[in-house]
Structure 1
Amino acid sequence: MADFRTGVPNARVRNLGLRGVSTLALLVSAASANAQVAEADDQSDAVAGAAVQTGEAIVVTGSRITSGGFSSPNPVTVADAESLKVASPQVIEGLADLPQLQVSGTRSNAMGGGGSGQATLDLRALGSNRVLVLLDGRRIAPERADGEVNVALMPNVLIERVDIVTGGASAAYGSDAVAGVVNFVLNKKFNGVRANAYAGISNYGDRTSFGAEVGVGLPFAGGRGHFLTSVEYADQNGLRWYERPGPKAGYQLINNPDPTGPTMIRAKDVRWSSGSGYGLVTAGPLTGLTWDADGTPRQFDFGTNNLGGKHIGGDGEVSVVGPEGIMVGWQNRGTMFNRLSFDISDDITLFAESLLGWTKNQSGIGWGYSIGATAFTIYQDNAYLDPAIRDTMIANGVNSIRVNRFNADFPNNEIETKSFKWRPVVGANFSLGDWKGEVSFSPTYSRRQLAYVYGMDQIRSIQAADAVVAPVGAPNGIIPGTVVCRATLEGTLWQGTPCTPINVMGAAAPEAIAALHPQYAEWNKDVFKQQSFSASIDGPLFNLPAGTVRAAVGVDYRHESVVFTSDPYSQVLNPITNALGGWRAGSAQPFSGTQSVKEAFAELAVPLLRDSPIGASLELNGAVRVTDYRTSGTVTTWKVGLMYRPIEELLIRGTRSRDIRAPSLFELYNGGTAGTAVVVDPFLGNISYGGVKTASTGNPLLTPEFGDTYVIGATYRPNWLPGLNMAVDYWRIELDDAIASISNQSIIDDCYRDNVNCEFISRDNTGYINAINNRPINFANRLVHGIDYEVSYRTPLSFVRDGLFSTRVVATQLFNDRSESRGVIDEAAGEVGDSKLKILWQTTLKTGPVSSMLTGRYLSGAVYDNKWKSGVDIDDNNIESCITFDAKVGYSIESMKDTEIYVSVANLFNKAPPIVYHRAGTVPLGTNTSVYDIIGRYFRVGAKVSF
């Protein structure tokens, strides 16, 4: 396989890259780190859904019954914080290794391609808006109206563990828990000081990062009160597209010129035929006319296999984004967390919390191209037109030509995003005899502002390119013979603004470019607020022969609002596109909206058998929640589960639940965002062209989507080998009336193949698509099901001081990921990004002051499309499997109490990702950057201290 990352590592890290790996490999084989996922003895049952001790009360994520030793029937994976910090000090990066989870914003794909710097969680690949995120069992409000939670703002240094409920939990926690729940649990009773500082660099001398964090816990008033605080700052540099060889290679799928072969073939050095850096004519008698940067006209070299808007070799760009497009964004962020609690009596504890965070991110896609519907029109009388070209136009009866331009001389289309979030919480924990409860109130405020560093003025760019020589008698005192915009002569200037003419046939003059790209003039801002009130209580009801029947009841209320604003120029009617928005891309439209919800729930745990001849125990768990949405009415969710122990060592469990996700404010009220896209048009022989205007809006008629979840599994913890734990769970999630918006290319393909979604497409009088408009609707159904496996073993080593060995394997096998919309069925299981088998292996070993850990990840091979057959639809439909390893070695300095120096290496063997040949409409990066590591081997060094 060709290497995605060839070339020589940067000299300043070359030696570390060669010798460091050998040293680490030896250390890992002899030693391993001092932490492990679900490592504590009392947490081994948590993998099977049992309780975990927090130091205050026994809490079971997945159930609202918090006392009495009750075990939840939902499968729960417990990951302690240290085991998640192998490749990075950040817990969220370790979560990305778990087979059940996908995490955006990790080291491989953070903030790439226009992202806002968020890190979001996605369980079962059902979408991050179908995962409920909790902090110490309380709902975390999203940062934006799209309903997604940025987990990068969690107080990393205080996180004790992360509980992952892999199954529906809406009856217990409310909307959004269709795929499951991720609960970040803090060490709320931490005393002392804990600090950590680190720095990192890739094997190639780029993507540098550094960060520092400190947490402090102080008891007061004789232990009745406790104060907790933490501060964190992190900074990481990004990557440009061409700082890795993959994007430069031009790996793409193209139409096969051989009619006897497969429809598509994989090819290297594929270039775009739809435009060039400084202008290309793609239609008419002058097809192939292009210009160099100095304005010299010549014939474009279309290489070979010039079909469908792409060709192999020759002239042109392998990417429409250029060398400076951002592959991984620049980001810095900071968080501050404070918590104060005080026992005013033995039965009442008051508490107040504040989580404050901010992020700043720079991302983007590179060049702001003008091709297809947004190409420049050059008439015969254009002042900058070469006389020989004018003569050719006249001879062929051509009045105008369309110059398709990637605008290589224009500023990059980059975006700066700033966000801020404040989440205060006030509440009380209380006891009423054997009953325990909590009441809390949280008003969350979030603000995000996005600005294009240099937004391209599309209206003025079209007028500026239509440059003519002022005739004698020109109006308004215009000097005859000077070059002016035609609109200046005709008095049709947009909003009366002066127009600076521009020559788009070759590199343009800097002053003309600057006139079209005002800095930070294009922007949008949204303010999201949520007021949340929650009250719950649980305790014993009565006794049965098998034990105590326990119950939990509670109410919740939430009110959400969003106000989205944008710059005035985004809201004008563009006479060129006949759509709102004067900018080339973006032009988000303002909107506002509110949503409120009232909920009440009840949960019951009933022991049916205890020490019976037919089993050691049998427990029944059931929950029901009634939810009333102001916009869509009342819905009911429920759950029923059984836990059966035929013997104490073996637990057999099963659950059946009905879960919901309500539409987000963005899905309900989005005012629309304009953009452009490159599409493949099967109606026109599968040609590829760009500049198609795209827009999407919200739909206030949306209703909640429903999920039906089934889980059955078993855990085994044998007495004959203490420390061994095994678990297996079959899970099945059926999603009905799912809210979805179809991709632009899918809309076109569905219209061509099945005559559906055609209403979203508009064409101009030449037959080309000039606009695609869609909005989310309740129309999709989805089925995902598979099996989770887990085996772990942990044992002390008596022959060395402080010796410890543990190992763990977690795997997910995916059978189906099938979606259906309007009668069209798509099977995604096994396609790239949706592997059928994911495995995480982790081994730790501690010997005295030395601790180390080795983690391995496996993704099974994939295909491009399950509907394709190798040799028929594509020459080879297969993508190879991928295995990567991370390592961490730490040394505790005995003379300095609780001080550790550590080195970690992500992608230990610098494994190149599988080559993925990209389809039209996507940026060809040489691999799938949302799945595979594109950074390469990455080194971090740091120091931790506690006292």
Structure 2
Amino acid sequence: MSMNNRMFHSSARHAPRAATLTGSVLAILATAGNAQAMTEWDLPEQPLAKSLREIAAQTDSNIIFDRKLVNDQSAPPLKMKATTEQALKQVLEGTGLTYRHLDDKTVTIQLASTDPSITTSASYGADGRIRLAQAQTGEGAGPRTRIVDGKPLLDIEEIIVTGTNIRGIENSTAPVIVLSREYINSTGFSTTTKLIESLPQNFALANQSGLQANGTGQVSSVSEQGSSINLRGIGEGTTLVLLNGRRLAPGFRSAAADISSLPLTAIERVEILTDGASAIYGSDAVGGVVNFILREDFEGAETRLRAGAADGTDEYRVSQALGNSWDSGNVLLSLEYYKRDELLASDRDYIPANVVAPGLLPEDENYSAVFTGEQQLSGSISAFADVLFSQRDSFNRAGRVSPLFNETPNDVDNPQLNATLGMNFGLGGDWQLEVSGSYGSNELEVVRGGGAVAVSSFDSKFESEAARIKADGTVLGLPGGNLRMAIGADYRSETYEDLTTVAGGIVTNSTDTDQDVSSAFAELYIPLVGSPNAVAGVNALEVSLAGRYDDYSTFGSSFDPQYGLMWEPVGGLRLRARYGTSYKAPNLVENTFGTNSAAAILAQDPLSPFGFSYQLQVVGIDVDALQAQESTSSSFGLEFTPEAIKGLAVNLNYYQIKYRNRITNPPLPTVLLGDPASFGSLFIRNPTVDQVNQFIAIAQRGQLGFIPLSPIDFTFDPNFDPASIEVIVDTRRRNLSLVETNGVDFSTRYDFAVGSSNVALGIDATYVLQIEQQITTTSAPFETDDTFGNAPNLRMRAMASWQRGGWSANTFVNYTDSYTDNRLITTPVSVDAYTTVDARVAYSFPTGSSSGFLSGVTVGASVLNLLDEDPPGTQVLSAPGAPSFDLGFDPANASALGRFISLEFTKTW
């Protein structure tokens, strides 16, 4: 999203309906007050933009304007008791501007001479989707140009919405969830990790900070302690993460973007496309796209202070934002500091006594700085810049829990840098050319110490340099609207290197690999039927077409198309469908043996007469057999916002993803050994000595090598005999023959007034019908959904909110359905459903000189897991007399944090 193509929303509670989640009705914000309610105004003579913001703040309304219309203008004093409309008339008097209602909660400021029917604007509909109304001067025309003070001016600037490369349109064929800044505030969450984790469409986080989720798609080291997004539960690295529309440099050894240190206070909104989009963004947008949009148009200063605590851990966050805008540009600097203390297993009485896991959540200390700005250089040329730097330091005295062994204490040092510089050029008409360059880096240093494994360190660095050129605009006018197009090319160079050393500086593993990716893309938006030519039964009919060619220097090339259709038979009802393909090359780290290791260990064996066997368990990556991955994705959905019931929004979406040669991890050894029909190719019973030595050699190509543990006392065995191995279990990451998943998203929300209060109710749910996999084309298929460490069939989040004047209250109920702990096929255990309640109450003091220091102040109190529900219990697997590495709960589907209470103070200066 270019900086030049962003619209300014002035609202202290920016678009309450934007908080509504198309697939996630989480959004709650105190919605706008009654427009006819009388307010006591006390505003001084000041810049018009500031008066408009303060009117929006005091009335919880959304005032949308182009800052170039108002920045040179002053507003007279406003000292009276009046409605919002009367206040607007007063401050706009003599400016040549007027206001127009987009809906009962949103107002746009425009030139008084402008025909309301041709104003370009953007707002959020009741379903949370961004709505855009195109400015036109006639059939087939582009945005209307006005002359203000001798300078050409668009009535309202256009923006790019996630799911398309074309400015000024909403791709109505794509299911997009929008989490507004106001929704983010209402949740009581303090980190980006917790925000994304709450989405029903996201399977927990494939890597939770401190604990390893051993489910589908885990590829990262158990020591890195970050968080990656896993939409649809098909694996780490299948969700593309963007920062202001551009790729976030991945962590986890190049596997996936780490969002754990993204500063939540710097984020304006999050746009989530819950469908494959490789034809738009590139090959790794298989499960979906998450686009973090940074705050931009902000004037003044904002200070936030937050403190919170749960039993055994405390948390603090401090942030400061400074912003300014002028006739031809704007700038914002946002700084944040976050700290959380370590959470110990001894602080949770449900952790079994024989579990060797002193630390549950690591000590985290994060620093971040965000800079974003734009500058108009001439009437048709502008420059923009986005920079994010973050530094994450964490310590966990027990590392993360691994199914193979418990890691030693870890100190993690993780700086990340993402920067983009670019320019926009007007090409005539409404065509615009964007040229940009980006740099991203993610460095990681992990120092391990003590325990059975010698003191060691791991250092890695991923770097990406990218360039883009893109043009978009109107091709021709159709009876239903403008046919618009985007066309462009991308180039990306990626490098990854790592180094592992042990005590004395001895190098045990070193990796240095790189690849180049060249791409070309095109996209068409075709409005066949629109308001000009609507007929009975067809209010609107839109087609979207996109295609992308990617060429990898490592794994070949592919062309991926995407087709979309939206039909609106009557006002308020939209039906849509999409189909597309994807091609994904292995990650850079998947071309190396660095993660390979093995252990000889006495472990549970469902089909052994004794229940246990002495196993050689091999982990890592089957590098020699890797192939590129291909997938198809489709979705069908409806959006219903009946005109007769204002404030009601209902969304339904069906999705299906078929992944061929998906690179992922097989299930845990206990599951493999209990199902020979599905996994017979992954283990060898009664192996020969040569076979054992062959797999030991594979493990020794990795950083940890081979660790023989005595079956008697589980200590290091220097006299290991290969002939003693009863079973070889190969759980290395590999191409599975097929992964197929499908499911249904459902959400509904209803906003309504009760007297002078505003109320919102809603529910958001995802039901996974199946996640089915096959190891080979001839092996029996197996399902991973609804099992330990994997996505449950049903996740829901319900909400209720209330707002009156400056008061607001929000309640959320989170539900994870029961599922099965199937790690022991002979004795599977049912895991109970998990329900938690979150709540927040806040008060915003009136803005104005009469409020003194409290003007612009909001004070809030939040509680996560209000009833302090413990995670449901699971099996605790261990060999006789051995310590267990199970926690007694499933960290992929429940949190160890417990009841967490926080207080927050926000002051806008």
> Shorter-chain-normalised TM-score: which range?
0.7 to 0.9
Query: Residues 397-436 of structure 1: matches in 2 within 5 Å?
Result: 413-433=408-428, 434-436=430-432
Q: In structure 2, do the counterparts of structure 1 residues 139 and 50 end up closer, same or farther at CA, with 3 Å as the change threshold?
A: farther
Distance in 1 separating the partners of 2:580 and 2:240: 15
Per-residue deviation at 1:452? Answer: 0.7
Equivalent residue runs for 1:537-686 within 5 Å: 537-567=471-501, 589-610=509-530, 611-674=534-597, 676=599, 679-681=603-605, 684-686=608-610
Q: What is the alpha-carbon distance in structure 1 between the residues aligned to residue 371 and residue 401 of structure 2? A: 44
Judged with a 3 Å threshold, the aligned counterparts in structure 2 of structure 1 residues 340 and 422 are, in CA distance, closer, same or farther, namely: same
CA offsets 1:287-313 (integer angstroms, 9 cap, x no match)? xxxxxxxxxxxxxxxxxxxxxxxxxxx
Matched with 2:436 is 440
**Change in 2 beyond 3 A, CA 1:693/1:866:** closer
| Aligned CA distance change for structure 1 residues 538 and 143 (closer, same or farther; 3 Å) | same
Q: Which amino acid aligns with 1:943?
A: F
Cα distance between partner residues in 2 of 1:117 and 1:735:
28
Q: Taking structure 1 as reference, are residues 368 and 59 closer, same or farther at Cα in structure 2, changes over 3 Å only? A: closer
Of the two, which has the highest radius of gyration? Answer: 1
* 1:755 paired residue number: 680
Residue 84 in structure 1 maps to residue 168 in structure 2: no
Is 2:203 the counterpart of 1:208? Answer: no
CA distance in 1, matches of 2:206, 2:661: 29
Structure 1: how far apart are the matches of 2:823 and 2:567?
39
The Cα offsets for residues 78-97 of structure 1, whole Å up to 9 and x where unpaired, read as 11133234232334312221
Task: Give how far 1:636 is off.
Answer: 1.2
Contact 2:31 2:803 in 1 (8 A): no
Cα pair 1:50 1:60 within 8 Å, conserved: no
Residue of 336, 339, 344 corresponding to 1:235: 339
> Structure 1 residue 773: deviation in Å?
5.9
Change (3 A) 1:178 1:601: same
- Preserved contact between residue 206 and residue 236 of structure 2 (Cα < 8 Å): no
Partner of 2:865: 907
Quote how far apart the aligned CAs of 1:126 are.
1.2
> What SS does structure 1 have at the residue aligned with 2:785?
coil
Does the Cα contact within 8 Å between 1:672 and 1:698 map onto a contact in 2?
Answer: no
- Quick check: 1:183 aligned with 2:296? no
> Deviations for 1:224-274, whole angstroms, at most 9, x for unmatched residues?
13221111111111222232111126xxxxxxxxxxxxxxxxxxxxxxxxx
Determine if the alignment matches structure 1 residue 450 to structure 2 residue 450. no
For the pair 1:780 / 2:880, whether they are aligned, the reply is no
- Residue of structure 2 equivalent to 1:882: 834
Alpha-carbon contact 2:748-2:763 (below 8 Å) kept: yes
Displacement of 1:545 in angstroms is 2.0
Q: Which residue, out of 75, 78, 84, partners 2:175? A: 75
Matches within 5 A, 1:98-247: 98-104=199-205, 114-202=222-310, 204=311, 206-219=312-325, 222-247=326-351
Partner SS state of residue 806, structure 1: strand
Confirm or deny that 1:834 pairs with 2:782.
no
Residues in 1 aligned to 2:504 and 2:629: alpha-carbon distance in whole angstroms: 32
Q: Which whole-Å deviations, capped at 9, do the CAs of 1:769-800 have from their partners, x for residues lacking one?
A: 59766654323311111111111122456x43
Which of 783, 799, 819 is the aligned partner of 1:862? 819
Residues 778 and 542 of structure 1: CA distance in aligned 2, closer, same or farther (over 3 Å): same
What is the distance in 2 between the residues matched to 1:93 and 1:347? Answer: 41
Deviation at 1:65, TM superposition (A): 1.5
**What is the Cα deviation at residue 553 of structure 1?**
0.7
The structural deviation recorded for 1:52 is 9.9
8 Å Cα contact 2:206/2:230 also seen in 1 = no
CA distance in structure 1 between the aligned counterparts of 2:543 and 2:682, rounded to whole angstroms: 46
Deviation at 1:747, TM superposition (A): 5.6
Aligned to 1:378: none
Tell me which amino acid in the other structure corresponds to 1:703: Q
Query: Relative to structure 1, is the Cα distance of residues 105 and 131 closer, same or farther in structure 2, using a 3 angstrom cutoff?
Result: closer
2:763 is the alignment partner of 1:809: yes
What do the CA deviations read for 1:462-485 (whole angstroms, capped 9, x no partner)? xxxxxxxxxxxxxxxxxxxxxxxx
SS at match of 2:590: helix
1:340 aligns with 2:373: yes
Structure 2, gaps ≥5 residues long: 1-26, 33-60, 63-104, 107-122, 135-154, 214-220, 694-720
> CA, structure 1 residues 184+55, in 2 after alignment: closer, same or farther (shift >3 Å)?
farther
Alignment-derived partner of residue 359 in structure 2: 326
Which residues of structure 1 form unaligned runs of 5+? 1-30, 250-317, 375-405, 407-411, 458-516, 573-586
> Using the alignment, how far apart are the partners of 2:514 and 2:838 within structure 1?
45
For residues 883 and 77 of structure 1, do their structure 2 counterparts lie closer, same or farther at Cα, with a shift above 3 Å needed? same
SS at match of 1:120: coil
2:159 is the counterpart of 1:58: yes
Q: Does 1:916 align with 2:850?
A: no
* Alpha-carbon separation, structure 1, partners of 2:174 and 2:606: 47
Deviation at 1:364, TM superposition (A): 5.1
Of 850, 853, 871, 2:810 maps to 853
Q: Aligned equivalents of 2:166 and 2:338: distance in 1?
A: 37
Q: In the alignment, does 2:812 pair up with 1:731? A: no
Shift of residue 186, structure 1, vs aligned partner: 2.0
Deviation for aligned residue 1:920? 4.8
Give the TM-score of the pair, scaled to structure 2: 0.73
- Residues in 2 aligned to 1:139 and 1:50: alpha-carbon distance in whole angstroms: 25
Displacement of 1:559 in angstroms is: 0.7
Equivalent residue number for residue 357 of structure 1: 390
Call closer, same or farther: CA 1:564–1:848 in 2, change over 3 Å: same
Separation of aligned partners in 1, 2:742 and 2:400: 41
Cα offset, 1:817, TM superposition: 1.1
Query: Do residues 720 (structure 1) and 654 (structure 2) align?
Result: no
SS of 1:813's equivalent? strand
Q: Is the 8 A contact 1:601 1:625 kept in 2?
A: yes
Partner AA of 2:283 in structure 1: S
Matches within 5 A, 1:366-515: 413-433=408-428, 434-454=430-450, 456=452
Task: Please report how far the alpha carbon of residue 862 of structure 1 lies from its aligned counterpart in structure 2 after TM superposition.
Answer: 1.4
Distance 1:155 1:180 in 2: 22
Q: Give the conservation status (yes or no) of the 8 Å contact 1:417–1:450.
A: yes
Q: Take 1:123 and 1:416, find their aligned partners in 2: how far apart are those partners?
A: 29
8 Å CA contact 2:639–2:649 kept in 1: the answer is yes
In 1: Cα distance, 2:321 partner to 2:614 partner: 51
In structure 1, the partner of 2:701 is: none
Query: Where does residue 945 of structure 1 map in the other structure?
Result: 907
> 2:615, 2:725 within 8 Å by CA — same for their partners in 1?
no
Structure 2 vs 1, CA of residues 855 and 570 (structure 1 numbering), >3 Å: closer, same or farther? farther
Whether contact under 8 Å (2:31, 2:758) holds in the other structure is no
Structure 2 Cα separation of the partners of residues 756 and 147 of structure 1: 26
Equivalent residue of 1:735, what SS?
A: strand
Q: Distance in 1 between matches of 2:597 and 2:494?
A: 26
Q: Secondary structure at the match of 2:724?
A: coil
- Equivalent pair of 2:615/2:729 in contact (CA under 8 Å): no
Is residue 132–residue 176 contact of structure 1 (8 Å, CA) maintained in 2?
A: yes
Q: What is the alpha-carbon distance in structure 1 between the residues aligned to residue 807 and residue 605 of structure 2?
A: 60
1:43 equivalent to 2:1? Answer no
Q: Which amino acid aligns with 1:674?
A: S
Mapped to 1, the partners of 2:401 and 2:663 lie a distance apart of: 31
Count, aligned residues: 719
